[in-house]
Structure 1
Amino acid sequence: MPEAALLGLALAAYGSAGLAAWRRLAVATLPLVALGLLLHTGALGWRWAVLGHGPFTTMHEILSSSLWSLALVAACAAAVSREVRAALPAALPVLGLLAAWLLLADAAPGHLPATYATPLLYLHALVGKLYLGLLLVAVALALHAWRQADAARCDELAHRFAAFAFVADSLMLIVGAVWAQDAWGRFWAWDPLESWAFVSWLALAATLHARAMLRPAPRGQALALAGCFALAFLTFFGVPFVSTAPHQGAL
């Protein structure tokens, strides 16, 4: 099928980008990620056209669209910042993890619940994926700053990307609450996904506050941001798929 062929080629391009980064072929890393994005866009677009809805319902679709969005945010940031280009290899293991998981996920189509028939779905997904992508770039920069002698510029950029991620995270929670009121008649219910999403928000807020007030060393900042990303990653890809509460991420 065209979708499977395009997706397979996209994953091969992402894998080649990871290999290029490992071999320190920096000049090839970003073009290979861009090639993967082009092919991946075709695969997602084909699936959307065939099924009539966006990639939001099954584990396969959520993994695929999240891999695409993380790669897109990282590639766009790398295209305009030499510091992000230098730090890009630190973000590729996360893309590799999602790609490997995607290969194991069932690609069968799902169904679109009635509560998903709203523009709020697209806005919620957009700011959520932007949040995770910006936070991934922040972590990559922070890890790169930790390893460099002159780390001030990367450390400052990591803080800025983390701050933009915090804005997107806040918007995700707000839009999600409005959507919940429309779908279920309540803004917030403290179900596992909502609770862990709020914990992730608090963790990033605390990390930004500590960076502004305490000025931790690059190593401490990198570890704090990595912890925030790990918490967000588990919230996105762990809690919705193991919880038995009504707020499910995969249907």
Structure 2
Amino acid sequence: MSALSDQLVTFAILAYLVAMISHAVEYALGNARARVAAAPVRELVGAGVGTAGGLPPLAPAVVPAAPPGPTAAERTARRARLGGRIAVAATALAALLHLGALVARGVAADRMPWGNMYEFVLTVSWIGVAAWLVVLVKRPSLRRLGLFLSLVMVLLVATAELVLYVPVVPLVPALNSYWFVIHVSTIVFSSGILLLGVVPAVAYLMRAGYEQGRRSFPYTLAKRMPTAAALERLTFVLHAFAFPIFTFAVIAGAIWAEAAWGRPWGWDPKETWAFISWVVYAGYLHARATPSVKRNVATWLAVVGFLTVLMNLFGVNIFFEGLHSYGGLPD
């Protein structure tokens, strides 16, 4: 089952890559707009003339011309739509392969697949792509955002496979607790939603700059993205949904720490960075609800918040030692 999991991860990366390329095709061809075809030209054909009896001439017959073929703009628009559909199908396939890899890994380890950084990154990234597919069902107009999402998936899953991979090992004894499922599952779920949330946040900052007249890189990358208002709204909804779950995860971690180590909070590096993330995300939601704060300023807080999440996931496990040193990084 461990070998099957590894193979499914490889196939998932390839499927995410196909999705990214297909989204790029749709993005590149996205400016094409089918022009309204000219109305069929009606050709008048005389069917007769006046007769000797003074009868009026017969009405001319109206023969419609043959309908014109598709224009170049219409063909380009069709290719763009086809690329978008292929991208969505490839993303759904990648998500299924990704899920299969997690299930196989869990079966091989006889536990939930959250015991080290490799498994954690795989799970968080899967939550992010699953949430994206739900958003896509509800808001198909946001499909072009999939270009950035699929790029993030390729980078994260490939990094997990190439850099963070470790063989299946038993769970660290300190993690053998029912709080492992409660605390880690909520952290994984909220982190996956926050991962998805940072994608429209960055896209919004670029799109808002483009709508304000900035034509330099990177603002021009977002010229074919959904409107800034739609991206900002999606950013807020995702963060407003994830923040209470993240708050519960931090509280559950403190309760678990009390049971395991005799204190709920000890300013361990991972605890400290979790608190920093919580403060930054709380600041984002507060700024977003304050009319005097500009939306782009609030959105920058959301981006900074995710950088602190990345620091907690990668930086703390790599650069610090503490009671949460369960990264399982390869030697």
Partner of 2:251: 174
Q: 1:135 aligns with which of 191, 194, 198?
A: 194
Q: Residues 42-191 of structure 1 correspond to what in structure 2 (within 5 A)?
A: 42-104=100-162, 105-146=164-205, 147=207, 150-191=227-268
Find the aligned partners of 2:260 and 2:6 in 1 and give their Cα distance: 33
C-alpha deviations, 1:120-146, integer Å up to 9, x for none? Answer: 212222221222222233322233444
Q: 1:244 to 1:43 in 2, by over 3 A?
A: same
Is 1:142–1:218's contact at 8 Å kept on the other side of the alignment? no
Conservation of the 8 A alpha-carbon contact between 2:19 and 2:87: yes
Secondary structure in structure 1 of the residue aligned to 2:143: helix
Contact 1:142 1:154 in 2 (8 A): yes
Q: CA offsets per residue over residues 33-85 of structure 1, 9 Å max, x none?
A: 21111112222212211221122223322222222222222222222223543
Paired amino acid for 1:75: L
Partners of 1:65 and 1:59 lie apart in 2 by 10
Structure 2 distance, partners of 1:248, 1:178, is: 18
- Give per-residue Cα distances to partners, 1:215-236, cap 9 Å, x unaligned: 5444434332222111112212
User: What 5-or-longer segments of structure 2 have no aligned partner?
Assistant: 27-82, 212-226
Instruction: Report the Cα distance in structure 1 between the residues aligned to 2:228 and 2:130, rounded to whole angstroms.
Output: 25
Give TM-score scaled by structure 2 length. 0.69
Structure with greater Cα Rg: 2
Q: Counterparts of 2:117 and 2:201 in 1: how far apart (Å)?
A: 30
- Provide structure 1 residue ranges, at least 5 long, that are not aligned to the other structure: none
Code of the residue aligned with 2:317 in structure 1: it is P
Q: Which residue of 1 aligns with 2:318?
A: 241
Q: Distance in 2 between matches of 1:179 and 1:217?
A: 39
Q: Does 1:193 align with 2:252?
A: no
1:41 alignment partner, one of 65, 77, 99: 99
The 3 A distance-change label for structure 1 pair 170 and 20 is same
**AA in 2 matched with 1:52:** D
**How many Å separate the matches in 1 of 2:253 and 2:279?**
17
- What is the aligned-residue RMSD (CA, Å)? 2.1
Tell me if the contact between 2:20 and 2:146 (Cα under 8 Å) persists in the aligned partners.
no
Amino acid in the other structure paired with 1:180: A
Aligned partner of 2:19 among 17, 20, 25:
17
**2:196 & 2:114 partners in 1: Cα distance?**
23
Alpha-carbon displacement from aligned partner over 1:165-199 (angstroms, at most 9, x marks no partner): 21121011011111111221211111110001100
Report the Cα distance in structure 1 between the residues aligned to 2:142 and 2:281, rounded to whole angstroms.
20
Q: Which protein has the bigger helix share?
A: 1
Taking only the aligned residue pairs, the percentage that are identical comes to 27
In 2: Cα distance, 1:59 partner to 1:51 partner: 15
Q: Does 1:203 align with 2:287?
A: no
Alpha-carbon distance in structure 1 between the residues aligned to 2:119 and 2:196: 23
- In 1: Cα distance, 2:123 partner to 2:229 partner: 33
Question: Residues 174 and 191 of structure 1: is their aligned pair in 2 closer, same or farther, counting only changes over 3 Å?
Answer: same
Q: What is the TM-score normalised by the length of structure 1?
A: 0.89
Mapped partners of 1:73, 1:120: distance in 2: 25
